[in-house]
Structure 1
Amino acid sequence: MGTDKIDRRIRKTKKQLRQGLTKLMEEKSVKDITVRELSDLVDINRGTFYLHYKDVFDMVEQIEKELFESFHDVLDKHPAKALNGNPLPMILDIFHLIEENRDMCRALLSKNGDLAFVTRLKDLIKYRCLNDWVQIFNTGKSQDFEYFYSFIVAGCIGLIQNWIENDFKESPEYMAELAEHMIMKGISVIQ
């Protein structure tokens, strides 16, 4: 049997497990999901699950790791200095990434999701962007900038959560432009 066929089967199995996990996370917390329940839902043998993951927590951790690698890739693609004070290209790529991973983002950012995921996401963006943005928009008040940054990131997470709750009704382009306007112009966007 060819390696490509095996790889395809593995991808298919992992996709089924991921879809099942996101469905279960709509109903309950990760800590309440069992391997048996997940395996039964997607109609695979528990042994097959254990070929790929140690337990449900390991599965969530691996999926989150993949998502964080994708977020890192987006941030690497858009260093703050290259954006010249225009965050729209980076924000657009972030919204596209979220849409491409809508099932897992919905699950992780829902009431049954992983609060640590949101915290790590905020920390990642802060770590990767804060120093560059302080240099670009140097006001001499780094503490004020940290407050501003915290406000903006919390607002963006809220915007993303609302977009998810509205079942991705608007396009990533629309949401990215809205986020960029809110970041750059504040309250004047809705006036």
Structure 2
Amino acid sequence: MSKRHTETKTYIKEALTHLLNEKSFEDLTISDITRKAGINRSTFYLHYKDKYDMMAQLKQDNLDSLYHILTQDNIEKDTHTTLVDTFTYIKNDFDFFQVIAKTAYVNFSKSIKDFAYDVILSFPQAQDIIINHYGVPYHYGLQVYLASIESLISYWVATGGKESPEEMTDIISKVLKIDESISHNNQQTQK
């Protein structure tokens, strides 16, 4: 991707973030976005079909980056560091995450749950960890696990992200008992 292409998408994202603090996504027009971004409509349409495509791509770009942090960037790192990196990524683009969390079209809660589910599926030991953690059938434990992740992240974003990435890592680790679950699973694997 060229530098100009990346800059244009950055201007559009910044404009969208600012505008969503002023009006709803449904009321937002392409003209609003292009005017705020300082670009013309044809430039916008070089990148996106419409505002829905723009939102879908921006959301997907962020989720792809988070997925990469959670599954690839940190293969050699421990779970704590991986979670800190994840919350740091969100904190570094917090204004965007905060406005999309309030945008009904995005359905932030469902997006987080779906994303968490995809991440969990990428870890072969996840099913055992969830069963051992909750002591209930996997599908029920999975729903509790996903709901916990979603509610903690949604609350953090909705309340202004006051806690640091390290504090959020500690909170989510304690609620989900991540360290205990991983330790228990490692002991089971070694037997």
Is the TM value for this pair above 0.5?
yes
Whether 1:92 aligns to 2:92 is: no
Query: 2:42 is aligned with what amino acid?
Result: G
> For residues 93 and 113 of structure 1, do their structure 2 counterparts lie closer, same or farther at Cα, with a shift above 3 Å needed?
farther
Partners of 1:153 and 1:28 lie apart in 2 by: 31
Please give the root-mean-square deviation of Cα atoms over the aligned residues, in Å: 3.0
Partners of 1:167 and 1:73 lie apart in 2 by: 25
Residue pair 1:134, 1:142 contacting (<8 A) in 2 also: no
Query: 1:20 is aligned with what amino acid?
Result: A
Partners of 1:146 and 1:156 lie apart in 2 by: 15
TM-score (norm 2): 0.75
Aligned length: 175
Cα distance, 1:138 vs. partner? 4.6
Q: CA-to-partner distance for each residue in 1:84-137, whole Å, 9 max, x for gaps? A: xx843332232122113223211221254511x532431232243155322245
Query: 1:123 is aligned with what amino acid?
Result: D
Correspondence for 1:50: 45
Correspondence for 1:107: 99
> For residues 137 and 113 of structure 1, do their structure 2 counterparts lie closer, same or farther at Cα, with a shift above 3 Å needed?
closer
Residue pair 2:16, 2:33 contacting (<8 A) in 1 also: yes
Whether 1:19 aligns to 2:18 is: no
Residue pair 1:26, 1:110 contacting (<8 A) in 2 also: no
Aligned pairs for 1:1-191 within 5 A: 7-77=2-72, 87-112=79-104, 114-115=106-107, 117-129=108-120, 132-136=125-129, 138-139=131-132, 144-184=137-177
Unaligned runs of 5+ in 2: 179-191
Query: 2:69 is aligned with what amino acid?
Result: V
> For residues 153 and 26 of structure 1, do their structure 2 counterparts lie closer, same or farther at Cα, with a shift above 3 Å needed?
farther
> For residues 46 and 105 of structure 1, do their structure 2 counterparts lie closer, same or farther at Cα, with a shift above 3 Å needed?
same
Query: 1:126 is aligned with what amino acid?
Result: Y
Structure 1 residue matching 2:26: 3-state secondary structure: helix
Q: CA-to-partner distance for each residue in 1:35-94, whole Å, 9 max, x for gaps? A: 011112223221221122111111111112211211221232357xx88xx843332232
Correspondence for 1:189: none
Residue pair 2:25, 2:103 contacting (<8 A) in 1 also: no
TM-score (norm 1): 0.75
Query: 2:56 is aligned with what amino acid?
Result: E
Partners of 2:18 and 2:147 lie apart in 1 by: 26
Residue pair 2:130, 2:145 contacting (<8 A) in 1 also: no
Partners of 2:88 and 2:23 lie apart in 1 by: 27
Residue pair 1:152, 1:183 contacting (<8 A) in 2 also: yes
Unaligned runs of 5+ in 1: 186-191
